[in-house]
Amino acid sequence: MADITAAAVKDLRDKSGAGMMDCKKALTEAAGDMDAAMDWLRTKGLAAAQKKSSRTAAEGLVGVAVSGTKGAAVEVNSETDFVAKNDQFQSFVREVTQIALAKGDNIDALKAEAMPSGKTVEETLTNNIATIGENQSLRRARHLEVTKGAIVPYVHNAAAPGLGKIGVLVALESEASDEVLQALGKQLAMHIAAAFPQALNEEDLDAELIERERAIAAEKAGESGKPAEIVAKMVDGAIAKYRKEHALVSQLFVMDGKTKISDVVAKAGKDAGAEIKLVDYVRFQLGEGIEKEVSDFAAEVAATAGIK
């Protein structure tokens, strides 16, 4: 039997919102595996359906930039939020975002590109680590481009122009005016920041994620005691609902709670007298999917002093 620590129970409770005893039981059932324990809680209806990846788990900044029909988003991580307020760090993120805008989003290639100082991105990052005194990393980048239309940027709770903890880019293909596309793009970007879609279309949703949801739905439906054919329909219904709620074009617009995003775009195009296509988007949330280690300073001091 796995040794279930109080820290693990607390971590699961923070992630799930379930009670301490339920979390302990879930971890015991899952032999200490955190993801499996979360699935167990969700199967029993004891946890909120909250994605671990939607939680901020690292510090730093997300940068976004647009030029004409091109846009780029970059995430640079640091150890503390204090560094994100540092002018040197903010300047680095801003400059790297501009390089991604011009050169593309391959991380290895970006690291080899020259900064305005003449040093490469990687050399500058190494220097920043030495001078600021914290580990930092260029984690990811995305580049978007349309042939005709607009790339619309949005930063939620911006720390500085183009910099924040959630950055969004919306790619719209259209002959409509820039004024129309910017207004629509801003609304869509705000929706994306709030609604956290997993893919543009239902068919683009990750197959492994769908299978995991299907397994959870099957176990829940199986506990109903209903005939197998009814259980199968319940599972199919749950997956269909999941797909609609997590694909951007089929999500309900957060600003009215009833109109599908695809219909919002279609209406905007009709009103503008020119078809508008939502062809892609980027949503970077600082620290998505990174497990942040929480240190217990008092425990560290006690351990160093040999106090149990």
8 shares its domain with 38: yes
Contact (Cβ atoms closer than 8 angstroms) between residue 75 and residue 139: yes
Contact (Cβ atoms closer than 8 angstroms) between residue 90 and residue 132: no
Q: What is the pLDDT of residue 190?
A: 97
Question: Chain-centre distance of CA 130, in angstroms?
Answer: 29
Angle, vertex CA 210, rays to CA 209 and CA 213, nearest 5: 90
Burial environment of residue 62 by CB neighbours within 10 A (0 to 12, 13 to 18, 19 or more) = buried
Place of tokens 């969700």: 42
Q: What is the pLDDT of residue 17?
A: 67
24 shares its domain with 105: no
| pLDDT, tens digit (0-9, with 9 covering 90-100), for 172-201 | 999 999 999 999 999 999 999 999 999 999
What percentage of residues in the chain have a pLDDT greater than 90?
56
CATH, residue 150:
3.30.479.20
167 shares its domain with 64: yes
pLDDT higher at 151 or 302? 151
Alpha carbon distance 136, 77 (integer Å): 5
Cα(first)–Cα(last) distance of the chain, in Å?
A: 24
Alpha carbon distance 242, 253 (integer Å): 16
In the chain, how many domains are there?
Answer: 2
Give the list of residues 6+ apart from residue 304 with CB closer than 8 angstroms, or none: none
292 pLDDT more than 80: no
Alpha carbon distance 153, 168 (integer Å): 6
159 pLDDT more than 50: yes
Amino acid occupying residue 237: G
pTM: 0.74
Alpha carbon distance 57, 62 (integer Å): 13
76 shares its domain with 141: yes
Mean pLDDT over each residue of the chain, to the nearest integer: 87
Last residue of a domain, one of 13, 30, 49: 49
64 shares its domain with 113: yes
33 shares its domain with 68: no
Q: What is the pLDDT of residue 307?
A: 43
DSSP bridge partners of 116 = none
Least confident of 16-30, 216-230, 261-275, 289-303: 289-303
In a domain, 106, yes or no: yes
In a domain, 292, yes or no: no
Taking each helix axis as running N to C, give the angle between helix 261-272 and helix 178-195, from 0 to 180 degrees, rounded to the nearest 10: 170
104 shares its domain with 161: yes
In a domain, 194, yes or no: no
pLDDT higher at 26 or 101? 101
157 pLDDT more than 50: yes
262's tokens: 């695809």
Task: Please give the average per-residue pLDDT across 235-243, as a whole number.
Answer: 89
157 shares its domain with 65: yes
Please tell me what DSSP assigns to residue 147: S
CATH, residue 45:
1.10.8.10
In a domain, 240, yes or no: no
* Domain housing 137: 59-171+278-285
Question: Chain-centre distance of CA 214, in angstroms?
Answer: 22
87 shares its domain with 119: yes
Least confident of 110-114, 158-162, 296-300: 296-300
39 shares its domain with 80: no
In a domain, 82, yes or no: yes
Angle, vertex CA 289, rays to CA 286 and CA 294, nearest 5: 85
308 pLDDT more than 50: no
pLDDT higher at 110 or 297? 110
User: In angstroms, what CA-CA distances link 217 with 119, 220, 227, 290?
Assistant: 53, 5, 15, 26
42 shares its domain with 136: no
Contact (Cβ atoms closer than 8 angstroms) between residue 251 and residue 263: no
In a domain, 196, yes or no: no
In a domain, 195, yes or no: no
In a domain, 84, yes or no: yes
Least confident of 41-55, 228-242, 249-263: 41-55
Query: Which secondary-structure segment (H or E) carries 171?
Result: strand 166-174
101 shares its domain with 124: yes
Between strands 276-285 and 59-67, the pairing is: unpaired
| pLDDT, tens digit (0-9, with 9 covering 90-100), for 108-148 | 999 999 999 999 999 999 888 888 878 889 999 999 999 99
